[in-house]
Amino acid sequence: DIVLTQSPALAVSLEQRATISCKTSQNVDNYGISYMHWYQQKPGQQPKLLIYEGSNLASGIPARFSGSGSGTDFTLTIDPVEADDIATYYCQQSKDYPRTFGGGTKLELK
Amino acid sequence: EVQLVESGGGLVQPGRSLKLSCAASGFTFSNYYMAWVRQAPKKGLEWVATISTSGSRTYYPDSVKGRFTISRDNAKSSLYLQMNSLKSEDTATYYCARVSYSSYIYDWGQGVMVTVSS
């Protein structure tokens, strides 16, 4: 199975930049596409898609969210951070079955 | 508007069975892969089952393989998860999910809670 590793928490100030990393145990690129996706989950809610295929912004997601990376190293950037962005963020790979998620990074206010 | 509404959760004893259902609307159900994803209390997400558009292909992680069965009824726009030989570690909120062509999740249901306890 492909293992995805995220830092458990990140403290950030409002209006600053947050960078959340996700490292995979195997390459998740194939034919020029990164099979890496990012979700946001707020307490008591279902997750919501933010970024798909490494860097594509999902419909309705503000442009302050962006995704980058390739191979085994990926980053979700929020710039600038707003109060509504306080949540847990998960990466997910779809290069291989079983599909797997990272453990999540909880974004906290500094 | 896409809607995914799960049902069938509850409290069940270890070793027993439970079947979850998901009623889908707002999109052409038969055109999409579907999946179940679970989240144990205060824990992260785990993808537990995927089914192809026709239902002919299914995929499971080792943690549930042989115990869980995903199925679908395209005529009823419904997705199911049959869970057998339940264990305490299966306690979680189970989400029904609409899956894209490259296996990211477009839409999630609200989730249904399953508690396995004696």
Residues B29-58 have pLDDT tens digits of 999 999 999 999 999 999 999 999 999 999
pLDDT for B9: 98
pLDDT for A102: 98
What residues of B are in contact with residue A91 (Cβ under 8 Å)?
none
One-character DSSP codes across A33-49: EE-EEEEEE-TTS--EE
pLDDT for A61: 98
For the segment A90-104, the average pLDDT, to the nearest whole number, is 97
What residues of A are in contact with residue B33 (Cβ under 8 Å)?
none
Tokens of B19: 């079947």
Residues A43-86 have pLDDT tens digits of 999 999 999 999 999 999 999 999 999 999 999 999 999 999 99
Strands B112-116 and B10-12: parallel
Strands A9-12 and A105-109: parallel
Which residues have a Cβ under 8 Å from the Cβ of A91 and sit 6 or more positions away?
A4, A6, A22, A36, A37, A38, A74, A76, A101, A102
Tokens of B46: 């785990």
Q: Given A46, A49, A101, which is nearest B47 (Cβ)?
A: A101
Q: How far is CA B61 from CA A47, B48, B49, B90, in A?
A: 20, 6, 7, 13
Query: Residues A3, A11: contact at Cβ < 8 Å?
Result: no
Q: Do B95 and A46 touch (CB under 8 A)?
A: yes
What confidence tier does A42 reach under pLDDT thresholds 50, 70, 90?
very high
- The verdict on whether omega for the bond into residue A80 sits within 30 degrees of 0, i.e. cis, is yes
For the segment A104-110, the average pLDDT, to the nearest whole number, is 96
Query: Residues B4, B64: contact at Cβ < 8 Å?
Result: no
pLDDT for B34: 98
Q: Given A52, A102, A103, which is nearest B104 (Cβ)?
A: A52
Residue numbers of chain B with a pLDDT score lower than 50 = none
From B109, B62, B87, select the one nearest B12 (Cα to Cα): B87
What residues of B are in contact with residue A101 (Cβ under 8 Å)?
44-47
Return d(Cα B100, Cα A21) in angstroms, integer: 23
How many Cα atoms within 13 Å fall on the side-chain side of residue A50?
27
What confidence tier does A8 reach under pLDDT thresholds 50, 70, 90?
very high
pLDDT for A37: 98
A52-59: Cβ within 8 A, 24+ apart = A52/B100, A52/B102, A52/B104, A53/B102, A53/B104
To the nearest whole Å, the CA of A66 is away from the closest chain B CA by 16
Average pLDDT of every residue of chain A: 97
Tokens of B44: 């992260």
8-state DSSP, A99: P
pLDDT for A46: 98
